[in-house]
Structure 1
Amino acid sequence: MERGTTLFLKATLILLGIPILALCIFLVPQIADYAVELYPGHGYLRVLIYIDLYASAIPFYLALFQSFRLLSYIDKNVAFSDLSVRSLKNIKSCAIACSIIFVLGMPLFYLFAERDDSPGVIVVGMLLIFASLVIAFFAAVLQRLLQEAIDIKSENDLTV
């Protein structure tokens, strides 16, 4: 694969990470403050929102890092290796972790939707869960296909 293609994908990964970092820095504290305004007697909601949203950012950035490593393996012409399979496995695990964290945070989305009278908040929460699961399944399929390709390649290397 041409280096320009992977360079574009690496830049895209970086550009995906920047808005999420900005959301973590600027929007999460506002969301937590708004939750405390909606439920003044429940100050612990601020901490729960911080935990849920920041905890979901950790596997997201780990998955971005693993994607970056996978593109580096492609650049080095070692795409069909156990390193690539391991990266895809880590991406799958990170996506599943994000999905689990969002599922655990759904009661917070429900509280927002109930008090703010906007059911779209629950839809956003469900979309986050669904997107994480799609990424996990896609990484699992790619991992299996890559492992099968490596097995076929090693069989062919042994017969020659």
Structure 2
Amino acid sequence: MKRGSTLFLKVAVILMGIPVLALCVFFVPNIAEFAAELYPDHGYLRYLVLIDLYAAAIPFYIALYQAFRLLVLIDRNLAFSDVAVRALRNIKFCGMAICLIYIIGLPLLYLIAEKDDAPGLIVIGMVIAFASIVVSVFAAVLQKLLKEAIHIKTENDLTV
């Protein structure tokens, strides 16, 4: 693979992280404050919203790091290695973790959406959960294919 295409993908991975970082810094605290304003008797909702959204950002950044690492392996012609399989496995687990975190957080989104009369908020949470599980399944398929390719390559190397 040409270095230019992996460079483009590396830049894309970095650019995917910047908006999420901006959301975490500027938007998430506002959502937590808004939840606390909607339910003044339940001030702990602020912290639950913060924990839920920041907890989802952690596996997202781990997955971005693993994707960047996978691109570095491709640049070094080590795409067919156990390290690449582990990176795909980590991406798979991160996708599952994000999905699980958002599913656990859906009741919080439901409370906010019901009080604010914004049913689209629940749909956004479900879309994020669905997208992360799609990424997880895709990473699992790539992991399986890569394992089989490594196995075939090993057999071919031993045949000679």
How does the TM-score come out when normalised to structure 1?
0.99
The residue aligned with 1:124 is 124
Q: Which runs of 4+ in 1 moved over 2 A?
A: none
Give the residue type in structure 1 aligned to 2:75: D
Q: Separation in 1 of the partners of 2:127 and 2:109?
A: 12
| 1:4-153 correspondence runs (5 A) | 4-153=4-153
Q: Separation in 1 of the partners of 2:4 and 2:70?
A: 15
Aligned length: 160
The residue aligned with 1:3 is 3
Q: Separation in 2 of the partners of 1:17 and 1:113?
A: 27
> Identity of aligned pairs, percent?
65
Q: Separation in 2 of the partners of 1:16 and 1:135?
A: 14
1:155 equivalent to 2:143? Answer no
Give the residue type in structure 1 aligned to 2:18: I
Q: Separation in 2 of the partners of 1:147 and 1:7?
A: 25
Q: Separation in 1 of the partners of 2:16 and 2:45?
A: 28
Deviations 1:35-79 (A, max 9, x none): 111111110011001100000000000000000000000000000
Q: Separation in 1 of the partners of 2:124 and 2:83?
A: 34
* 1:112 shift after superposition: 1.2
Give the residue type in structure 2 aligned to 1:31: I
Structure 2: runs of 5+ lacking an equivalent: none
Q: CA RMSD in A?
A: 0.5
* 1:113 shift after superposition: 1.4
Q: Separation in 2 of the partners of 1:118 and 1:54?
A: 22
